[in-house]
Every structure is written in C-alpha cells, then in structure tokens.
Structure 1
Amino acid sequence: MSGGSEGTFCLVLHSHLPWLAHHGSWPVGEEWLYQAWAHSYLPVVDLLRRFAAEGRRDVLTLGVTPVLAAQLDDPYCLRTFHEWLGTWRLRAQHAGTLWRGGPELLRDLAAREHRTAEAALADFETRWRHGFSPILRGLVDAEVVELLGGPLAHPFQPLLDEGVRAFALRGGLADTALRIGHRPAGIWAPECGYAPGMEDGYAAAGVRRFLVDGPSLRGDTAAARPVGSSDVVCFGRDLEVTYRVWSPKAGYPGHAAYRDFHTWAHEVGLKPSRVTGKQVAPADKAPYDPALAADTLRLHVKDFVDTVVTRLRSLRDRHGRPGLVVAAYDTELFGHWWHEGPAWLEGVLRALPEAGVRVTTLRGALAAGHLGPPVDLPASSWGSGKDWRVWDGAQVADMVADNTALQERLLAAHVRTETRDPVRDQALREAMLALSSDWAFMVTKDSAADYARRRARVHTDRFDELVALLSADPDAARRRAAELHTEDGPFGQLDARDL
C-alpha cells in the first residue's frame, strides 16, 4: 500500500434493496434481489476476499443496510436464490443450443454465461449457504472493510417522528451487531437525508460518522467535518470525481462498448448486446464484444485514476496540505447495472496506490488527519436538487401524509407490556417496512411506481389490521401475525417494547 504522497482516496459502497421476499417476482420483486445478488454481491465479495488473502487492509468502506442483510441471511431467500442460480445455468445452456449456428460472439456469450453461472453456483454452495453475515464478519474482523450500518428498513429519516427515528436507528445498529458481532461506528444515512439537529440523535446512538452529498458542504469535501457542536463528523461525496463514473446524465457505464443493461434476448433471459448508442433501438444494437469492453475498461480505469490524482493535487495547491477524495456509489451499480463494474473496481483499487494515492476507509482517513473545522449542515439529501423533493415532493405528497398518519397511529397504539407480544412486534415490523424510502423514490422517479405504492399500502394496511385485531380478537390477531411473519419476517429480534 502506498504512503499516499498524492493524498487520500476513500471508496464507499452503499448496499441496499428494500424487502422483496414474498412480494412478487418479475419484473419487480424477488428477481431484483437475485440479479443484484448474483451480479453484484457475489463478485464484489469475491474481490474483497482476494484482497484479504493478499493481506490488504482498509480497502473500502462498505455500507450494508439491515433490511438487505436480513434478506441475504433469510432461509427462504437463500433457498430460492439457489434455485435461481440453477435456472440461470439452464438459461445459459439453452442459449448455447439456440445460438449454436449463430454469430461467434453470441456462441461465446452463451459459453461465458454458463461458466459464470457455474462459478456462482459453486461459490454460493461452498461459502454462502449459511448467509452473508458469516462472510461479512470475516471481512470486518480482518479489517479489509469498514462497515457502515443504518436504520432498520431504510427510512428517509428527516421525515420521521423523532421517537420513531431513534428507534429505527437503534434497532438497525443492534441488528448489525447481532449479525456480525460489531456495532458500526458509522452509517450511510438513507438517501444521505439530513435535517439540522440529527447529529444529536447520532451521538446518542453511538454513531461517530456519516455521509452527506458534496453540495451539503458547498463542495468543500477535502476533509471530514464535525457537525455543529457535536463530535459526530460528516464526510461529503466529491462529486467532481464521483460523477466521472455515474451521474444523473453521464458516466462510464453508458459507453458504447459496455454490455447493455436494458436489452434482453427474452427467449433465453440473457443480455446479448452492447450499448452501441443511446439512440439505437434494442433490435439494432451490436452483439456484446468482451474484448472491446476490456479495452474500454482499461481506458476508464486510467481516466479515473488520473481524475483522482488531478483532484488531489488541486486540493493540495488550494489548501496547502494533502487532501481527501470520497467517491460513493450504490454497490448494485457494480455488476448488476454495469456488467464490467466489478472489474473496474479491482482495476482502480490496484492502480491508485501505484499512482501514489493512499487508499483507505473513512476510519483510516480520520486516522490520517483529514479533519477540518466544524460545519453547520443544511437540510439535504443526495437526490434530485440535493434537497428532499424526491421523498417530500408534490408527486408523493399523499404518501408523506399517509406515513405521518401511520407514525401517529403507531405511537398512539404503543403499549409497553411485561412480555414480548408477537402481534405488536409484527405490527411494528409492518410499519417499518411501510416507511421505507424506496417507495417514494420509485414513485417520484416513475420506476415501477404502481408496485411501490402497492407495497407502501400493503404494509400500512397490515399494521392497521393487526392493531384492530388486538382489541377485537386477540387469538385471531396472534394467528394473523404468525401468517404475516412468514412473508414479512426480517428483524426477528425486533421488540415493540423498545419503541
């Protein structure tokens, strides 16, 4: 590892999907989970394990939300993902038969896809069958990654009642500690959502650091900053560097040579095309050529490393000391959305130290002295406009009102009992799932908006049903809670008395 003569770089990955088990399959639902698992989580973990075997430490900062961890440990999800991997292998085998007399690139694609599916099956059957937590714990124990946690079901925290917000954060941190034996000192705040004063709640929960988007710091992201009068520090995403890879308008994955995410050969369920051009119709796209993609990838690794070095030099010239660059992305970008993403990650993480850049975690950046003066943060997020409009705008005003009313009913129905009540626990679980930030995001962005609205309504209705049954028919309430727990069963330790 380099001594960091040019400065320090932190890669932060945010791993998150909403609770999808038992709530539909295609095109939105469990298929989303399985694709991200196969194409992002398996290869990224494989990369981290290889770094661990090489003795690398503090490679990157990895956020894993409690609701995603619950799915990657869930017995039902483990079984059905295993079946999905087997089907993937069969689809690739079928493609090999169907394309046997076709173009060489298609024949090669089918063979590669079959080999990849075989390797994924072997990896899953030998390392993943007991879930993600044992794997993640090994990476955390070996200090290959710094782990970030978060609140239970990824709510947009600024819109939560303070009591509900504190409960969700405490519960999320406790869930992570239960799974891996470590309580995270940092979090990826869902959607980077922040409201002034939230640092006090973080301090009370034992959170020492969190992420905000660069504009929250007016672009001054060259060091971590204590927030207000607290000891809690924030790190800002450096958008000048981050957007080289992925921005609302451009980035590497849209290059013509890369595998196209949106174009399917539906007869085999594989993606056979390269991007070719943004205005090219799916039927007219060129076949995917891995050699062409690999050549492009090398250029993009070099471009990113050059961008980081140039940015660090400009920060040193401006501030008179070594600077910090934090680049943060959704983990699902690497492999799921961008087929070549895991290979790009490996290339960058190997090339940056060779270019004189210290590669470390947020924890490591603080140890290296990248701490600036205190700052007062504005209300903000990493969404459109860098404010709250995605989760609190006109398109989702009804959902915001519904969530506010749900929280009021949740708090009004809260009764502290001497022993755990599985009905109240399940009602609280449904409320947490209803408050997920994903539903408003999907509606505002018009991405499976009907599914998102239905999910928010289903969980809200289930909460109300259980609360009503508690008063009317406690035996029926217990039976119904047990039924719902088979579908919505994350956070088994959740205890409504802690609200």
Structure 2
Amino acid sequence: MSATPIPDQVPGQFTLVLHTHLPWLAHHGRWPVGEEWLYQSWSAAYLPLFRVLRTLAAEDRRGMLTLGMTPVVAAQLDDPYCLDGMHRWLANWQLRALEATTLPEPLASFGIREYEEAGRAIEEFSTLWRHGVSPLLRELIDAGTVELLGGPLAHPFQPLLNPRLREFALREGLADAGQRFAHTPSGIWAPECAYAPGMEHGYAAAGVDHFMVDGPSLHGETALGRPVGETDVVAFGRDLQVSYRVWSPKSGYPGHAAYRDFHTYDHVTGLKPARVTGRNVDSDTKAPYDPQRADKAIDAHVADFVGVVRQRLISESERIGRPAHVVAAFDTELFGHWWYEGPVWLERLLRALPEAGVRVGTLRDALAGGFVGAPVELPPSSWGSGKDWQVWAGEKVADLVQLNAEVVDTALSTVDKALAQTNTAPTRDLVADQILRETLLTVSSDWPFMVSKDSAADYARYRAHLHAHATREIADALASGRRDAAERLAAGWNRADGLFGALDARRLP
C-alpha cells in the first residue's frame, strides 16, 4: 500500500489570530450576566485552548497562532478572587454532572461524560492554573508557540476617546502585559478593530508596529499587511472570505446539526445535552448530543477549511503576483464557549495545515517574512455591523456616548488638579488612580456593544452608569476639599474594582 502523497507547498503564509476579551465581571453580578459569563468562558474556552497550545508547544511547534489577550481579561484570569470563584464553579459543574447521571437516559450517559470532563478540568486547573494565566502564557510565548497581542486598559472604543486618555490606556495596557508575561507586545488588537485616521502615530509613539483591522478597512485588499500613512506601523486585515467560513453573521461550522447546541439547557442540571439538530427545530425536540457524530463533522470541517485556505493562498498569490498572506481572525470565546467542538477543531487544523503544504506563522512572522505591501490611508472603521462606528456611536447609544464624554472630562480635570497639588509627593495618589480606573471601566466598548445588539442591554447600561457614578462620587469629594472622604470612597470602590494595580495617574500625559 503506497503512502499518501504530500501536497505541494502553497505560496505565502496563513495566520490565525484569536482575540481574548471579556469586560470586568468580578464583583458585578453572577447570573444571568456577570461572573457566570467569566467562568463559563474560562472552563469551556480558555482551559481547552491552553491545553491545545501546551500540547503543540511540547512538540516544539512554533508560530502556531497570534493570541490577543486584553489587559482586562488577563487581570481576571490572574485575580485571586476569580481563581477561587473558578475553582468553586468547576466543582459545582461536576456536582451538576453527577446529578445528571441519576436521571433517565440519554441524560445519564451525557452526565457521565460531563462528570469526567469536569474532573479533568478541576485537576488541570488545580495544578496548572493556581497562579493564574500569566505563567502559562509566558511559557507559550517563550517557546515561540504563540505571538502575544496586547491592547489598551479596559478595552475602550479608541476613536471616540479623549486623546490623553487614549494614550494613557494604551501605554498602561502594554506595560501591564510586560509585567504579567515578561513580554511587552509590539502588536495589538485594537478594541473592536476600531480605527480613526491619525491613530497610527499614537501607536508608533507607544512602540506598536502592527495592529489588526477588519478586511473592509483595507477595501478587501488583505493579501498583504499595509503600512499606514507615512508611518512604519502595519495594519493587517482579516480575510472575510476565509474567516466567515467558520463564523459569519448567517452561517458557519458551529451551526452544523451534529454539534452541541449552545442555547438548549437541561433545566434541572443546567447542562447542555442536545445537538443543534436543525436550524428551525425547537429546543424541546432537539436530538441528544452524539460525540461520534460530532467528531466526524469536526474532521469534515477541518478538511474543508484547509482546502479553503490552500485555494485562497494560491488565488491571492496569483492575483498580486507574489506570495500572499491570509489572516483568519476570531474571538477566542468562539472556540469552546459558543462552539463546544471548537478547541478540538483548532488542534486538528493546526496539525493539518502544515501537512497540506500550508506555511503557518504569526503576524510577527509575516512582518519578518516581508508580507507587506504599499502604504495605505485607512478610513474610519471597525469590525462591527456596517464596518463603521454605528454600534458604538449610533442613535441607540447616544446617551452612553454623552455619558462617556462627560465622565472623561470630569476625571481628567479632577486628576489634573489633584496631581498639581501633590506633584512633589514621592508616592502615588491612590484617589487619582481610582478615578482613572473607574473612568476606564465606564468607557469600556462592551457596554454600547451590548446595548446596540440588545444583549443584556440593561446590565450594560447599569455597569456604565455604575462606574460613571463611582468616578463622579470620588471626584466630587476631592473637588470640594473633602480629601478624607475621597480616600474612603476610592478605597471602597477599589474593593470591587481593584484591577490594574500598577495603574499610576502620575503617568497621565
């Protein structure tokens, strides 16, 4: 029996980019929106993704993917309170699975598999994650398995942000990554892939030499990275033809009938024991999940995606007359949280691509390999609906845009005055620090996104106004000369919002 022939090496390079982000959820509600969202994403997406990456690293596979990790999600994955909460959540998951084993079939068999999966997660979490995500990710970066992308503190929609706060959030965010991972990123995932003309100069000043935009920002010309304006800062565009094969507004692999259904719960145990079954099938009539059926679908979708990437590299290289670069980019939480089978698909894909003659590398590898074209002027853009700013600046969120502007003005003027009075002090001003911390949480891009998409909109408005209230409350006390009251208020809010411990208001430009 002859060996399977090895496919010809295709020109160019393929890069997979994952963007890992959740808003600050610790201490702000549990269910249906709040810490539960964090723990579900951690157990279903982050744990299995790092399991995959550690396996690939152990095989000395380098340049497997470019991983964006926002400072706000890293803060939660390192936070002792969140680590304790996650451990309890995993134990509760195992108890719920145990309860399922006592129920009638097919739920009992499903419970057995879930019980084993929860046990594996508990063991892994207890041994590998006890000090948070930082040591794990640092190992993967050191091994060359992943390239780290950073980002500004608390994920603000940068085009609408006061330039002073925009610069501060970016520099502090990059420094935060440097402290956690012993690597300061030179590439970022700009929150929401949002861009306004001129932002490239701020990136260059902060030491950023490449960033992500969506394909339409480059008018669909994503086959090469493009220096922006007169700078050396390179924009890489998401290839929608390839990316949408996996996850699109209307279709994609996760909706296949064999995969686990995200929306269908068993109301006794809270587990998800059904498969998608069909697009128009009611939850109570969905078929039981069948792992073997799902496994066959994973293999089919790996083969399909490899074929799509090969063909895209060949056709784009022919079109531009030189080896092309193809970037597929997704939210990390798609793989495992939204699409249960996603992590397995990822591992098989990252093995299958090189076997199919596809060169896999990071964005940093693409820069080093010369996959860069002519300079370009980018339009105001994002990866949201319409590829413009409407999700974060449209009529539905006009009140939040106004709120953000007012809160930022209050915060900056108050902090300026406070620092002017204490500029001879050798220590930090913890009141000013907390004002900026609450301001950054107020202007998180998550809140207008959730309102525009009508996804837990009430929670999103509550959070935006809560952090705005905290900012104003502390600032008012400080402005009226009640320094002691301002210190008490800042300390109180810090108990819930104590993330970014190294944030230092004295570095505000």
What TM-score comes out, normalization by structure 1 length?
Answer: 0.98
Aligned to 1:41, what secondary structure does the other structure show?
helix
Q: Distance in 1 between matches of 2:369 and 2:233?
A: 17
Per-residue displacement from partner, 1:445-496 (whole Å, max 9, x unpaired)?
0000000000000000000001112234222222221121111110001111
Q: Distance in 2 between matches of 1:42 and 1:287?
A: 25
Q: In 2, Cα distance between the equivalents of 1:414 and 1:22?
A: 26
Tell whether the 8 Å contact from 1:2 to 1:353 is kept in structure 2 after alignment: no
Q: How does 1:53-452 map to 2 (within 5 A)?
A: 53-99=58-104, 102-103=105-106, 106-415=107-416, 416=419, 417=422, 418=425, 419-452=427-460
CA contact (8 A) 1:2 1:357 kept: no
| 1:3 CA drift (Å) | 9.8
The match for 2:462 among 442, 445, 454 is 454
Output the CA distance in 1 between the equivalents of 2:482 and 2:370.
60
2:3 corresponding residue in structure 1: none
CA distance in 2, matches of 1:429, 1:162: 16
Distance 1:309 1:290, change over 3 A: same
Q: Which residue in 1 is equivalent to 2:34?
A: 29
Choose from 12, 16, 27 the match for 1:11: 16
Offset at residue 177 of structure 1 (A): 0.5
In structure 2, distance between residues paired with 1:112 and 1:359:
34
Whether the aligned pair in 1 keeps the contact of 2:44 and 2:336 (CA below 8 Å) is yes
Percent identity of paired positions between Structure 1 and Structure 2? 63
* Counterpart residue identity of residue 17, structure 1: L
Deviations 1:158-208 (A, max 9, x none): 000111100000110011111111110000000000000000000000001
Q: Structure 2: state its 5+ residue gaps.
A: 1-5
Supply the distance in 1 between the matched residues of 2:259 and 2:183 (Cα, whole angstroms): 38
**One-letter amino acid of the counterpart of residue 485, structure 1:** N
3-state SS of paired residue (2:101): helix
Tell me what 1:494 maps to: 503
Q: Which amino acid aligns with 2:215?
A: G
Is residue 177–residue 185 contact of structure 2 (8 Å, CA) maintained in 1? yes
Judged with a 3 Å threshold, the aligned counterparts in structure 2 of structure 1 residues 4 and 173 are, in CA distance, closer, same or farther, namely: farther
Residue of structure 2 in register with 1:51 after alignment: 56
Residue among 444, 457, 480 paired with 2:489: 480
Give the deviation of 1:212 after TM superposition: 0.4
Amino acid at match of 2:351: R
Q: Quote how far apart the aligned CAs of 1:2 are.
A: 10
Within the candidate set 445, 457, 473, 1:465 is matched to 473
CA displacement, residues 353-397 of structure 1 (integer Å, 9 cap, x when unaligned): 111110010011122221101010000000000000000001001
Give, in angstroms, the shift of residue 4 of structure 1. 5.0
Asked if 1 retains the 8 angstrom alpha-carbon contact of 2:10 and 2:313, the reply is no
**Aligned residues of 1:256 and 1:277 also touching (Cα < 8 A):** yes
User: 1:144 & 1:244 partners in 2: Cα distance?
Assistant: 25
Task: Give the CA RMSD over aligned residues.
Answer: 1.2
* Alignment length (residue pairs): 495
**Letter matched to residue 486 of structure 1:** R
Counterpart AA for 1:433: L
The amino acid that maps onto 1:425 is: D
Report the Cα offset of residue 107 of structure 1.
Answer: 2.6
- Contact preservation (8 Å) 1:59, 1:359: yes
Residue identity opposite 1:338 in structure 2: W
Task: Please give the secondary structure, in 2, of the residue aligned with 1:223.
Answer: coil
